[in-house]
Amino acid sequence: MVVVEREIPMCLIDLPEHDLRYYRNREFFELFCKDIEQNGILVPPILQTRSNGRFLVVDGVNRVRCAQKLNWKTVKCDVYEETDEKDRIIIGLRVNIKRLSHDPMGVCEAFHRLHELGMSQKEIARRFGFSKSHVSKLFALTKLHPSDKLRLAKGELTIPLAYNLVRKRRDPELMEKLGIKNKCEMCGSKVDFGHTELIQICLNCKSLLQNLLESEKRKQKHEVSQRELPL
């Protein structure tokens, strides 16, 4: 891969559709902008050329966004020739993998995207020096509820705890009573029962669940009243 240092007009730079970071801290961004304003960009962003004459950010999204906010006309970047999305993600991950260690959700989503583009978990593990079991766990974390994904990205949830959330399953007896297996009765989409407090079901199944819970409450109340009756 031939990399050339070039001064690129800001108006020709595009941000990637799939960000390698799941969460970006606004307070950190503001401080980062102040630092760049005072000291400039010390490590050039990495861009790839595009067939339409524009450039796509591979590494350095925050640096480019800071330059935009500071109204810079151009920014000095390391530029390489256009490649496919899979290679671009691999390059970005190789540069960022240590920096992304505190945002594991970003790594999870990037690995999942590589898998969608045809890479096996085994190949991903080999490329980035992880064990296959670790990569498998990271893949499982993509099934987290969005609120838990954000907690993991912010560091409010550890990987082991997040993995345990994914491994949870709803009470099979309750699911049998509801007549629900692995698909939503209303729309036929896959249903994730990995959260006991946040069940991803359609309105129809939610109504069934509410009716069942109300019925169970009435049943329990009746049993209690029967026990309290004088002999």
Residue 145 sits in a domain of what CATH number? 1.10.10.2830
Buried b (16+ CB within 10 A) or exposed e, 43-78: ebbbbbbeeeeebbbbbbbbbbbbbeeeebeebebb
How many domains is the chain built from? 3
CB atoms within 10 A of CB 3: 14
Whether residues 13 and 89 share a domain: the answer is yes
The reply to whether 153 and 178 lie within a common domain is no
Is 1 in the same domain as 92? yes
Largest interatomic CA distance in the chain:
92
At 196, is the pLDDT very low, low, confident or very high (cuts 50, 70, 90)?
Answer: very low
Q: Is pLDDT above 80 for 182?
A: no
* Residues 19, 66 share a domain: yes
* pLDDT over 60 at 152, yes or no: yes
pTM to 2 decimal places? 0.60
What CATH number does residue 42 fall under? 3.90.1530.10
Domain co-membership, 78 together with 27: yes
Average pLDDT, the chain: 79
CB 55 within 8 A of CB 77: yes
Q: Comparing 15-19, 84-88, 157-161, 189-193, which segment has the lowest mean pLDDT?
A: 189-193
Residue 44 in contact with residue 5, Cβ under 8 Å?
yes
User: Which of 61, 96, 131 is the last residue in one of the domains?
Assistant: 96
Residues 156-166: tens digit of each pLDDT: 888 888 887 77
Please name the amino acid found at residue 146.
Answer: P
Domain ends where: 117, 140, 167? 167
106, 143, 197 from 174: Cα distances, Å: 34, 21, 14
Residues 84 and 113 both lie in one domain: no
Separation between Cα atoms, residue 12 and residue 73, nearest integer Å: 10
Residue 88 and residue 109 in one domain: no
Give the domain range for residue 17: 1-96
Look at residue 74 and tell me whether its pLDDT is greater than 60.
yes
Choosing from 130, 152, 167, the residue where a domain stops is 167
d(CA 110, CA 108): 5
Q: How many CB atoms lie within 10 A of CB 193?
A: 19
The verdict on 3 and 69 lying in the same domain is yes
